[in-house]
Chain A
Amino acid sequence: MVTVEVCIGSACYVRGSNQVVNLLNDMIREKNWSDQVALKGSFCMKACQNHIGLGIRVNGKMVPGVTLQNAREMVEKEVSEALA
């Protein structure tokens, strides 16, 4: 099981983390990953203070440089690697 956590603290919310949740839900559905990937919410993981983009963790590891635009692509890559 791969855990993907998305920060829904206010600094990430304003940069579109709510839409990222929708995008990742779509991704999980399209890829038939619902048994292998758990999407979770999280509060501030200090991504805002460290200026590394949206706060996203895959299996507990921060994924730096995520934006609303590249979120699906980046998380898909991380999750594929974790599943492999």
Chain B
Amino acid sequence: MPMFSNDSRQFKFDVLREISTEAFKGDLDEAEIQARARNMVSLSSPRVRCCVYKEREVLRQRVRLALGEMADDAAAYNPKQIVQVIDAACDGCTIRKIRVTDNCRKCMAKACMAACHFDAISMGTDRSQIDYTKCKECGACARACPYNAIVVTERPCYAHCPVQAISWDENNIAVIDEEKCIDCGQCELACPFGACEDISWVVPVITALRMKTPTFAIVAPSIQGQFGGASLAQIKKSIEMLGFEKCWEVAIGADIVAYHEAQELKEHMEQGRPMTTSCCTAFVNMLRIHYPQQYEENKSSLVTPMIALARKLKQEYPDHGVVFIGPCVAKKQEAMSEISAVDYVLTFEELLAMLASQNIVPEQVEAGADSEQASNFGRGFAQAGGVAAAVQQALKESGDGPATCVYADGAMECKKQLTLMKAGRFTANILEGMSCIGGCIGGPAAIEQMAMVKGRMVKENRENPNHSIGESLEHHVFKDVDMEVTDKKEEGEAR
């Protein structure tokens, strides 16, 4: 039964499930895997591309990514670049932004010609024509046409990339500029052909589990409600059934981050410097790469909740591995591009593939009471506005006054607010930046619809006994855990 309404995502999932099934069996050999996976596409399977050979090449590159290799055979392994282009899958679409369609009536008014400031439009034999050597892609002609005959379309990957990291080569295949890319995964969400995809480490994680290596799973707060009607306790139990020793909520790390961020905010407020939140990796990458001055001056010095909790666990259990599971692609870059307390990062999609390969259905799993709960404020990090709300709560709990917050919903809005900050025109105390619209629950590897997840979270969190951040931190002690990014400049340096 298909689990995703989108065929290209379903295909990605099917590949991950196949690979997971093989990896759990063990003795994985790449050539064998490729040979077996090849059966997923055959002459009799429904054609989705021009021919079976193209489909097989797309499949082959997908299998490479699922095995933790670069999609491009010739590229050197680079864990800094998580999002990659499967060149066989790229359709090389819509290079020309402005086009005249059949709707053109070759009218007398010729509003398009009048609207064009660059003399790029002329009247052809049956419709108006654009001279692309002159066209500046301003769209004035499209707005002027009374028949909506001129359309403005952009490549979805390019249109959704917040940092203009996407261009195309001489064959119109998308190319990602690694110097600019923030690994936010927006192109993955946008591409209708599933040509932008993230590299996966399901195989080594499954190997670790199969060899009974002691490993913890730490799950992003946005995991609540992602698996049908399964409760958080059921989801955690399902993950433990895969072989993880224990599953922890990263929301615990979020509680401690909110606490420290509130303390740091007080310093920022005294000095009249706005502070940006540090939990969203793609947002931090945007700061680091595209707004270096704000990165130095305004970014909170704290690690992300993922790293905070992983450091605590590594301190208490040095021989254990830590695997983060989230809806996020950028988290893979954060944990994998340098040596960190997190050994591997998986996405919800990959987790679902692993569960499906072992026939574990979270909704049907029996789970006991959950004794290791975070506060609802830590859990709120999953949603738009939740981070600033948690920092406000932490301020309140320490007896300090409220701060003013601006919430930037989505990468485009983050960019806008950072530009204001750069110009000295950002007036609030906190900028909460979330690269995905709606927060982590809108992440590129989230499974369920956002509205559905929100409703389930509210319902489940009513039962949570931890009413404040303080209560959660009484239970989860972060003694001597380093909460600062070790060296800001080194962040993001290669492993």
Contact = CB atoms under 8 A, between A and B. Distances in A.
Chain B binds chain A: yes
Interface of A: 6, 8-11, 13-14, 17-19, 21-22, 25, 39-44, 48-49
A34 to B, nearest CB: 14
A14 B68 contact: yes
Contacts of B77: 14
Contact of A40 (B68, B203, B204, B211): B211
Nearest to A42: B213
Given A10-B79, A18-B28, A41 B339 contact: no
A8 B204 CA distance: 6
Given A8-B208, A14-B77, A43 B343 contact: yes
19 contacts: A6-B211, A8-B204, A8-B207, A9-B204, A10-B68, A10-B201, A10-B336, A10-B495, A11-B495, A13-B207, A14-B77, A18-B203, A21-B207, A22-B27, A22-B29, A25-B27, A40-B211, A41-B211, A44-B339
A21 B29 CA distance: 11
Contacts of A8: 204, 207-208, 211, 213
Instruction: Identify the interface centre among A14, A18, A49: most chain B CB within 10 Å of its CB.
Output: A18
Instruction: Identify the interface centre among A13, A25, A42, A48: most chain B CB within 10 Å of its CB.
Output: A13
B344 interface: yes
Contact of B339 (A6, A14, A39, A49): A49
A10 B27 contact: no
Given A9-B204, A41-B211, 8 more contacts: A9-B321, A10-B79, A10-B201, A10-B343, A13-B203, A18-B28, A21-B207, A41-B207
Contacts of B201: 10, 13
Interface string B337-359: 00100011000000000000000
A17 B205 CA distance: 12
B212 interface: yes
Interface string B11-53: 0000000000000000111000000000000000000000000
Contacts of B344: 10
Given A18-B207, A25-B27, A13 B68 contact: yes
A65 B164 CA distance: 43
B205 to A, nearest CB: 8
Contacts, number: 61
A41 B495 contact: no
9 pairs of A and B residues whose beta carbons are closest in the complex: A41-B213, A41-B211, A43-B321, A13-B204, A43-B343, A41-B208, A8-B204, A14-B77, A8-B208
Q: How would you classify the secondary structure of chain B's contact residues: helix, strand, loop or mixed?
A: loop
Contacts of A42: 213, 319
Interface in B171-224: 201, 203-204, 207-208, 210-213, 215
Contacts of A40: 211-213
Contacts of B29: 19, 22
B343 A9 contact: yes
A8 B207 CA distance: 8
A42 B204 CA distance: 11
A41 B210 CA distance: 9
B212 A10 contact: no
Nearest to A46: B339
A8 to B, nearest CB: 5
Interface string B310-325: 0000000001110000
Contacts of A17: 204
Nearest to A21: B207
A14 B64 CA distance: 12
Contacts of B203: 13, 18
Contacts of B215: 43
A1 B124 CA distance: 85
B27 A43 contact: no
Nearest to A17: B204
Given A8-B204, A10-B201, A10-B343, A22 B213 contact: no
A45 to B, nearest CB: 10
A30 B296 CA distance: 58
Nearest to A15: B77
A5 B213 CA distance: 10
A67 to B, nearest CB: 16
Contacts of A44: 339, 343
B15 to A, nearest CB: 18
Instruction: Identify the interface centre among A25, A39, A42, A48: most chain B CB within 10 Å of its CB.
Output: A42
A18 B344 CA distance: 15
Instruction: Identify the interface centre among A14, A41, A48: most chain B CB within 10 Å of its CB.
Output: A41
A42 B207 CA distance: 10
Contacts of B207: 8, 13, 18, 21, 41
A39 B208 CA distance: 12
Given A8-B204, A10-B79, A11-B495, A39 B211 contact: yes
Nearest to B318: A43
Contacts of A43: 208, 213, 215, 319-321, 343
